[in-house]
Structure formats: C-alpha cells, structure tokens
Structure 1
Amino acid sequence: MAEKRDYYEVLGLQKGASEDEIKKAFRKKARENHPDLHPDDPSYVEKFQEINEAHEVLSDPEKRARYDQFGHAGVDPSYGGGAGGADGMGGFGGFADMDDILGSIFGGFGFGGGSKRSSANAPRRGSDIQETVTINFMDACRGKKHDLRVNRMCVCDSCKGSGAEAGSTPDICPDCQGRGSVKTTQRTPFGAISSSKPCPHCGGKGKIIKNPCSKCRGVGRVRVQKTVSIDIPAGIDDGQTLRIGGQGDCGINGGPNGDLLVGINVKSHPIFKREGYDIHCDIPVTYMEAVLGAEITVPTIDGDVKYTISEGTQTGTIFRLKGKGVQRLHRTDRGNQYVKIYVEVPKNLTKKQKDLLKQFEASLSEKNYAKRQSFFEKLRSKLDL
C-alpha cells in the first residue's frame, strides 16, 4: 500500500489550524485540482480524492482528534491499531462523493448551477487559452485592432459533440448508470467507510460509445485554428493581459466556453521611455541654444511640438508637457511627458573657433557662473573650519 501523505500537508496547513483555515484551504485546493479542470490528466482524480479525504477528517472534530493522536491508524483500519471503535464515524460521508463537492464549491463556476451534479455528463466549462501578442510602442499608446490566429477546441461538427458516429448514440454505462463513478463501502471497527472512484468500465465518462465518430474519435471536440479579432485598448502596457470572454476552448456537454488570455509584449522605442502613463525623453540642444535660449522641436506621441527654453538652460533641466503622455487604460485622461535637456558640447573645433571661445571666456566673470561661484564659496567655507 502506498504511504499516505499527512492530511495537514495535503491541504497546505500547519497542525493546529483553525476550522476556518481548514475550510478555506480545502476550497482553494479543490478548485485547483478538480478533475473537470484537467480532463486530460487522470492523476487529478486521485489528487482530488486525497484532498477530499483530508478535509473530511480534519473538518470533523472527533475524527481530527483521533488523527492527531493516532495518525492515519486512527481513521483508517488498514493502518492497524489506533483508537477504539467509533460506530458513528460513517466513513467520509457528506463530502465523500465528488458530486457533492462539485455542487458545494463549484456551483457558481459553470458546473451545474449550484446544485449537486447528477451525472458525469453534466455541462463543464471549457479551458482557457493563453496567447502572446507583440506590438510596437505607438500601438500600445493609441490602441489598435489585431487579428490573432488561435488553436482552440470546438464542438465536432460531424457528431455535434456526442462522440458517436452519425446515426448512432452513446449508451449509458450499465456499471455506474451514467454517474461516471462507483462507490464501495467497507465495514470497519470505526464504522462504514465509503469511497468513490472513476468507473473502470466507462473510464469515468458515464457512457459507452460503441461506434465512435471517425472525425473526433469519440471525444466530441476537435482542435481547429480560428482567427479572433481583438481590440487592444489605448494605454495597454508591457506585461499586461487581456481577457477575451468566450474565445477559449468550447465547453463539454454544452457547458460555456473558456476565455482567451492574451499577454501583451510592447517593443521599446528609440526615443520615448514609459513610466506608468508618463513618457520621458531626452533632447539635445546646442551650446548657443542653451546660453541664449531658443525655440526647440520636441517629439511627442501626437507629433512634434514647439517649446521655448530659457536663456542659460543647464544640462539636466526637466520641463513638463501636460497631457502629452499615454491615455489611461479605459479612460480619456492622459499622463504627462517629461523632457530632459542635455547640452551638447561642440567637438573638433578649428584653431580660429578655439581662439574665439577663449576671447569669449575671457570676457566673462564669476557672476556669469552662479553654480561655479557657489561651489568655491562652499569649498572655502569648509577649509576655514
């Protein structure tokens, strides 16, 4: 017999967890590991049963007390000794049947409208599909329409989802009567222990297809490639995800479709950098423009604009263009654009140019260099201490 895991470990809890913590952990684990969400992986049936079993013991004060004292032997006779007889144990009743759990915690998630699932053929929601789209910087700022080719599961148009060849129908499994699972009950010193497992005859489907559809091979769904037109909203940012409702895999047994999740990658821009909804850029100006002031051309995502820098503008000066940033997602207002000035020092001067600069420099005094004057005053003050 395979060694059972500790029930607290199964639910991700510490020993001594409160009833509320047990309840929350159970619901979270049950949602993540329900077999209906992983139809192609049969291991989730065992995982789900393990979660169910752990919950049934830890949520019952009497069973939990025996488990805390004797371990698995206190609640499972196959582990030998343990606590004395407890006729009222009743196995893993209440939530032991996966149908009960389905109705209890998945009622609002497209698994039968909140009541207990009565059949393995009940409607189930289709899986979500994940895709990635790469767009340029300007498209992210302005928004765009994008056609995306996706591979998704659709109802087989040959058998209309029944899985049976045209002209035939599936038969109800005689072993489980269409439930998809069979129960066994064992009398023990601790009471009657019930367990549920997938029907071995129909593989948990609740039906037998004697003449499977040649197109889908009895699955009832086929994978096809379709084009989905999506609206990428203005203001979308790199790393965000769009959810397109109903464009995922089709549901099972008439259940709702899953969603299409589109991850957005935004290419970098050679001039602009984005921070939230604000845009930043650096603008070079000439030495004379910085000294005398000038009207310069500033690029924005809406086109070029004119801006007048003042006389004596220094490298590192930042000015703001209000409302010239990115439109806020699903809104009409926008961020700002921040422009940083850096003064480009001329290179490769001729001798004549150098002489002229020296003459110009000689005509200046300390009052023309406020920062330099302030620096040396601070330095002298420091040395005098």
Structure 2
Amino acid sequence: GDIFDMFFGGSGRRRNTGPERGADLRYDLRIDFEAAAFGQETTIRVPRIELCPTCHGNRAKPGTPIKTCPNCHGAGQVQMVQNTAFGRFSTVRTCDRCQGEGKTIETPCPECAGRGRLRRVREIKITIPAGVDTGHRLRVSGEGEAGERGGPAGDLYVYLSVKPHPLFQRTGDDLILERAISYAQATLGGTVEVPTLESPAELRIPEGTQPGTLFKLRGKGIPHLRGSGRGDLLVRVKIEVPTKMTPAQREAVRQLAEAFGEQVSPPEKGFINKVKEAFGK
C-alpha cells in the first residue's frame, strides 16, 4: 500500500460489519378506473432478494458449525502496525478472511451457495384504497429486499397509474360526462337517463336548455380519499342533430322554422317531378 493506506487504513474503505437494512423496492401498477374509484384488493408478483429459507441468512449448511474468525477473533477488523520513516503507525482494516463478518463457515449452504440470500418472486397482497389517482404511492412496510447480518427488510413502494374511462373524465374527485340530447328535448325539456359509475340515474332537462349547459348530480363522483363523502358527476349536454328523417319529420321541422320566421332550404323535388319539369309538363 501507499502512504495514504498507512495513514488512513485503506483510504476509508472499511466495510460495514453491523446489521444493514435491505433496499427499498418500487413496483409500478396500472389499475382500472373503477378500482381507483372504489378500491380493490389485488395480488402482485414482486422479484426481490430474500433470506435463504434453508440457512436463514447465516450462509452455512444446516447442522454444520459456524466459528469465530481466528484471524480477527470475531471483530471483523484487524489492526496492522507499520514502521515508517515518519514513525510507527497503526491502521485498522476489514478482515480478509471473514470479509468483516467476524465468523467463518466450513460448509456453505447448498441452496444459496453460502450467500445467505436468494432472488425470488414473491406474491404480495395489497389493498388499494378508494379514491386514489395516477401518481398515488402505496407503502408496504417490510416487503422490500432482505437486510444483511440481521438487519431489517426494506419497504415496497407501489406507484399507481389509472387507465382512462371510455365515458368519464376525472377532475379531482369530480367526474365529467358528455350527454347528447335531441333538439326537442332541449327545446321542450324532459328527463334523460345518464350512466354513473354504479347504476344509471335520471337527469331532468329544463325547457330551453342550451348546448354546453352543465348539470350536477351530487355525490355521483369519486369517493374522497381522505374523509367521507364523494365528488359530483357533471353532465355537459350537447344537441344531437338528426341525420336521417322521414318526410313527416322534415315537414314538422319546416313548419317549426316557419313559425319562428326562419328561412330554410325548400323541399327537394322528387325524381318524377324533376322529369315533368324537364319536359314542360
């Protein structure tokens, strides 16, 4: 080693010999819109480092001895004294024989090859609370990777993303729904059925409703994540113009337009009438 090794014992490369907490893990989970709204219990499969079930982390084959390291006498570190031109210096290094653990094994565990830990895929049941949204993080204590030398396991963090819904848009805990109504319903009023996250509900349309009018159904939105109650369902109406009408329906609309003093296109003449006009009959 160089002069810095002599002064600082390997430039600070001393290994931690005490209990060490396991690493935290992240798991990304995509859930349905309804699961985010009402909550759900689900099971996820998480790859992680676990303690060996055979040796329970001590790295030795069951029934074989685990001895105190004869080199460091269980300290995990050895002291070295060197004489230099500057005088006599004492340094402390990690024990090379036991790698800082203070004990040695004669027969390694056959399942983990003496490592004490294994990579496994573990099924973990989690509970998704009602009212979560994309970006919400669930903490599952102690379900991260196993610790070392008796240290505790890390935690598992589940990050949620929510699939979009074909009908509803979410704004906070409120839902927005677009509902088409007919010209007659908008003009004369009436009652229409609208979907909710549960069963359909009735919405009263007042006379003279304009396109884009927003109606509120209280308590039909997303449950509040913290506290009781729910958001609202906001229904935005749009006027649906018919693309196909019977002659009687066309005539009725034409008469309505005349009653309002509006000019509309004249009725199209039939094929027979067009032929008669062409020949002057």
Q: 1: distance between equivalents of 2:91 and 2:218?
A: 67
Q: Give the strand-richer structure, 1 or 2.
A: 2
What is the deviation of 1:197?
5.6
1:375 corresponding residue in structure 2: none
Q: 1: distance between equivalents of 2:192 and 2:92?
A: 77
Change (3 A) 1:138 1:191: farther
Q: 1: distance between equivalents of 2:251 and 2:190?
A: 25
From 145, 150, 173, the equivalent of 1:254 is 150
Q: 2: distance between equivalents of 1:285 and 1:190?
A: 95
What is the deviation of 1:186?
8.2
1:143 corresponding residue in structure 2: 39
Relative to the length of structure 1, the TM-score reads 0.58
Q: Residue type of the partner of 2:44?
A: L
2:273 corresponding residue in structure 1: none
1:268 corresponding residue in structure 2: 164
Q: 2: distance between equivalents of 1:322 and 1:194?
A: 77
Change (3 A) 1:352 1:133: same
What is the deviation of 1:153?
2.9
From 56, 65, 89, the equivalent of 1:160 is 56
Deviations 1:151-195 (A, max 9, x none): 333322322321011222333444444444556788999999987
Residues 14 and 93 in structure 2, CA contact (< 8 A), matched pair in contact too: no
Q: 1: distance between equivalents of 2:180 and 2:193?
A: 10
2:238 corresponding residue in structure 1: 342
1:108 corresponding residue in structure 2: none
Q: Residue type of the partner of 1:324?
A: K
Q: 2: distance between equivalents of 1:212 and 1:198?
A: 21
Change (3 A) 1:247 1:354: same
Matched, 1:323 2:230: no
Aligned-pair Cα RMSD in Å:
3.3
Helix, strand or coil: the match of 1:146? Answer: strand
Q: 2: distance between equivalents of 1:182 and 1:315?
A: 83
What is the deviation of 1:343?
0.7
Deviations 1:123-168 (A, max 9, x none): 2222223223322111110111112222333322322321011222
Number of aligned residue pairs: 258
Matched, 1:239 2:135: yes
Change (3 A) 1:308 1:288: same
Q: 2: distance between equivalents of 1:270 and 1:317?
A: 21
What is the deviation of 1:331?
2.4
Q: Give the helix-richer structure, 1 or 2.
A: 1
Matched, 1:290 2:186: yes
What is the deviation of 1:358?
2.1
2:229 corresponding residue in structure 1: 333
1:13 corresponding residue in structure 2: none
Matched, 1:301 2:197: yes
From 125, 132, 135, the equivalent of 1:229 is 125
What is the deviation of 1:242?
0.9
From 151, 171, 175, the equivalent of 1:279 is 175
Residues 97 and 195 in structure 1, CA contact (< 8 A), matched pair in contact too: no
Residues 47 and 122 in structure 2, CA contact (< 8 A), matched pair in contact too: yes
Q: Residue type of the partner of 1:267?
A: K
Deviations 1:83-121 (A, max 9, x none): xxxxxxxx779xx6968xxxxxxxxxxxxxxxxxxx71x
Relative to the length of structure 2, the TM-score reads 0.78
Q: 1: distance between equivalents of 2:86 and 2:212?
A: 80
1:126 corresponding residue in structure 2: 22
Q: Residue type of the partner of 2:166?
A: P
Q: 2: distance between equivalents of 1:212 and 1:258?
A: 26
Q: 1: distance between equivalents of 2:139 and 2:158?
A: 6
Residues 162 and 169 in structure 1, CA contact (< 8 A), matched pair in contact too: no
1:30-179 counterparts in 2 under 5 A? 120=17, 122-179=18-75
Change (3 A) 1:329 1:198: farther
Helix, strand or coil: the match of 1:154? Answer: strand
Q: Residue type of the partner of 1:282?
A: E
